[in-house]
Amino acid sequence: MNREILVGTLLYTLSTLILSLFWIDFSFSLMVIIWILLSLSFGYIFSSYMLSQKQSSDENLLHITKEILHELNIPLATIQGNINLLKRSLTSNTKELKRLSRIEDASARLERLYKELVYSIKKEIHPIEKEVFRLDILIEERIENFKLLQRNGFVLSLTPLTIEVDKIGFEKSIDNLISNAMKYSPKESVIKIFLTEDELIIEDQGVGMDETELLRIFERYYQLDSKRYGEGIGLALVKRYCDEEGIMVSIHSQKKKGTKVMLNLKKVNV
């Protein structure tokens, strides 16, 4: 039996025994004291039980999740291994190599989704440790992935900057912001990204927003344009992450002129 539950049970039993043996001889004030002791004991038992049940449930969930994620990782590794083997045997077949390249890109995206799933589940169960890393390098890595979509161009001005935050969470936030900028911008326009010593700015030349839309932009499931692909939760997740890390988010936007998202990084600078 859980130690806290055992202690609480003993207290409750002792209090009940005392009350039953000496009820008639006790004054009203002493009986009140005993009742208080009984209530506290019962509350202690109940809360301890609920906490132990939650801990047990979290441990079971984590165990099951690890097993499922392990099984998902096996076919993913198999796909990637066979891609490398096929590359060696198709060195002279340009058409087949292009098809294989598309499979490889899809596999890379699947691997990233897998890692994000692992991250999201772990975050729900226990806090994610913060990491120290170069933000300018991370942004360059993420931009290279977006370039594979062959959609918008990018203009970068990145000052070397080291920060300490939940790294995967920051990656997801950057991806959401860049993805939104691309989704609501013409294909021929460029996405501008500036990183200074204390601020990250992502600016597009897209549809923009009016004041009413800006007021609702961080609402979960709110979408600026319901015809465009998405679930309307990206910016809500960005806002939640930034609030947890102490990063202030501000957005400036004008209808048909574009949107500028600014992240104040003063509190996470190293």
Q: What is the pLDDT of residues 147-203, one digit of tens each?
A: 888 889 999 999 999 999 999 889 989 998 998 899 889 999 999 999 999 999 999
For every residue of 153-222, DSSP letters joined together read EEEEEE---EEEE-HHHHHHHHHHHHHHHHHTS-TTSEEEEEE-SSEEEEE--SS---HHHHHHTTSTT-
Q: State the Cα angle at 40 between 39 and 42, rounded to 5°.
A: 65
| Contact yes or no for 268/167 (Cβ under 8 A) | no
Share of the chain above pLDDT 90, in %: 32
Q: Which residues on adjacent β-strands are paired with residue 262?
A: 201, 250
How do the domains of the chain map onto residue ranges?
Answer: 3-57, 61-125, 131-268
Close Cβ partners of 228 (under 8 Å, ≥ 6 residues apart): 183, 184
DSSP state of 129: P
Cβ 239 vs Cβ 218: under 8 Å: yes
For 113-123, the pLDDT digits (tens) are 777 677 776 66
pLDDT at 231: 38
pLDDT, position 101? 78
Q: Give CA separation, 223 vs 31, 172, 195, in Å.
A: 61, 18, 27
Q: What are phi and psi of 116, to 5 degrees?
A: -70, -35
The alpha-helical segments, DSSP class H, found in 126-155 are 135-147
Q: What's the whole-number mean pLDDT along residues 238-242?
A: 90
Q: Which long-range contacts (CB under 8 A, 24 or more apart) does 248-253 make?
A: 251/209, 251/214, 251/217, 253/208, 253/209, 253/213, 253/214
CATH number of this structure's domain 131-268, picked from the four choices 3.40.50.1950, 3.20.20.140, 3.30.565.10, 2.70.98.60: 3.30.565.10
Mean pLDDT across the chain, nearest whole number?
75
Long-range pairs of 151-155 with CB within 8 A, sequence gap ≥ 24? 151/182, 151/187, 152/181, 152/182, 152/185, 152/187, 152/189, 152/190, 152/191, 153/189, 153/190, 153/191, 154/190, 154/191, 154/192, 154/193, 155/190, 155/191, 155/192, 155/193
pLDDT digits 0-9 by tens, 55-112: 556 666 666 666 666 666 666 677 777 777 777 777 777 777 777 777 777 777 777 6
CA pair distance 109, 84, nearest whole angstrom: 16
